[in-house]
Structure 1
Amino acid sequence: MDVVPKQHSPLILLGGASGSGKSYLAHRFGHPHVELDNFYREISEHTPETPLPQTGYGEIDWDHPGTWNCSLAVDAIIELLESGATQVPNYSISTSSYDSMRGIELNGGPLLAEGIFVSEILAPLQRLGVPVEAYYIDVSPASTAARRFVRDVRERRKPLLFLLKRGYALFRADRDIRARHLAAGFSPVRKKALKAMLAAATA
């Protein structure tokens, strides 16, 4: 059965490499904004019996969709659209764990959802009949890498050596990240054009 939103709140998914500006645009134009990165799995789930994906250098690969709880994210968005409210975890990147929960309510839209695994959520939502628009923020890999590194160091997200290794790996993977989003059904849009589009939607 198709999901019928409680209010007129179009759902817009914003995709892009880490550091491309997804959070900035969603914070500015989303009413409300769902941070899908809050649905990361906790480090406590990484056990010998149920290991999380790992990088080639022996760290948990937090850029692998296996470290993210897609079904929980889908359930939260569906509940938000159907009932007008939901609870989402507050995920601490520095500790890789939840530290609390917080409520989100619809307030007229547009409803924006973004995160590095947002491409994983489009197909499940479409299968449930959710009306959704999906855009990929097209920016240069070099500028994205610079913004990402400055942000991650400023916010002390992970140890510096880890950030350097991850940053280099993501820079090399930028083309593949873009291709994955486009294959999932996202439309590539330059940031300036997307910003104008979102501004018009909230005017």
Structure 2
Amino acid sequence: MSITFSQDLGDGRRAVMAQAAAPACRQCASKAAQWVPVTDSAPPVDDPANESDALFEVPPGARRPARRIVLLTGPSGSGKTALTRRLGLPVVNLDDFYHDVDFPGMPMRYGIVDWDDPRSWDSAAALDALRAVVRTGRADVPVYDIPTSRRTGGTVLEAGDAPLVVAEGIFAAELVAACRADGILADAICLTQPRLVTFWFRFLRDVAESRKPLPTLVRRGWGLLRAEPALVRRWTDLGCRTATPAQAERDIRALLTP
């Protein structure tokens, strides 16, 4: 059994003494009684009210980010880049996150690196860039040269006060689940057009930009034409919805309306 005493020390402090009742001797009494200074302003450690400075808990997902991401995918040549130009929003070009051609373990097809395989692409770095631009309004992004299949430098994307950032590329669907889990996904769209239209526009673009030797472009283009339905199914399975370029433009502009 013990008896507790307190004493005011001034300056908002007090001392507390716990003394055992009926000590056997003076020496025992002196050891049993100890003054311990405490401060009135220091609340108990186990007080739940001290675990957070917030007035109340905010439910998960209740905080809306300053900006969100529109993921835009679709077959190569489906009009993704043209759409982003018309929208005039900040754009993360996901093709810039390709690995260099001599990166270990690159997938091969048609005797060259299979640039349509997600393993040729740095998904982790792309996701980090999207998270950064949502959180801070800016992100460091690489600059990739497709003809030489290498990164040639880097740049800084500034989102300013734009409420949406478009991330476009054939691998955009790979990021749907992570962006949705982070609460930063505004929409995920897969552009679709008639396959022959996509084939023709892709071929004209690739030739104009000298992306690869002509025989490779023809062989790759024909392979993509045949694979397109399966690609679109995969992207929708990953969480994208299909839309024509015109419909996608209307839908994205609608997101900008308060």
Q: TM-score, normalised by structure 2?
A: 0.71
Deviation of 1:128 (Å): 2.7
1:126 Cα deviation after fit: 2.1
Q: Which residue of 2 aligns with 1:95?
A: 148
Per-residue deviation, residues 81-103 of structure 1 (Å, max 9, x unmatched): 11111110110000011111111
Alignment of 1:138-177 (within 5 A): 138-177=192-231
Counterpart in 2 of 1:24?
82
1:4 and 1:76 map into 2 onto residues whose CA distance is 20
The Cα offsets for residues 38-75 of structure 1, whole Å up to 9 and x where unpaired, read as 00001131xxxx331011x3211111100000000000
Give the corresponding residue for 1:79: 132
Structure 2 residue 191 is matched with structure 1 residue 133: no
> Structure 1 pair 198/2, CA: closer, same or farther in 2 (3 Å)?
closer
* Unpaired segments ≥5 residues, structure 1: none
Give the structure 1 partner of residue 22 of structure 2. Answer: none
Q: Which residue of 2 aligns with 1:39?
A: 97
* Higher relative contact order structure (alpha carbons within 8 Å, sequence separation ≥ 6): 1
For 2:175, which of 121, 143, 155 is the aligned residue? 121
* 1:67 aligned residue: 120
Unaligned stretches of 5+ residues in structure 2: 1-59
Amino acid at match of 2:167: A
**Deviation of 1:191 (Å):** 1.9
Aligned length: 197
Q: Is the Cα–Cα contact under 8 Å of residues 68 and 184 in structure 2 kept in the other structure? A: no
| Partner in structure 1 of residue 239 of structure 2 | 185
User: What amino acid maps onto 2:98 in structure 1?
Assistant: Y
Distance in 2 (CA, whole Å) between partners of 1:75 and 1:40 is 14
Contact 2:176-2:185 within 8 A present in 1 as well: no
Q: Give the structure with the larger strand fraction.
A: 2
CA RMSD in angstroms comes to 1.9
Cα distance, 1:136 vs. partner?
A: 1.2
**Residue type matched to 2:181 in 1?**
R
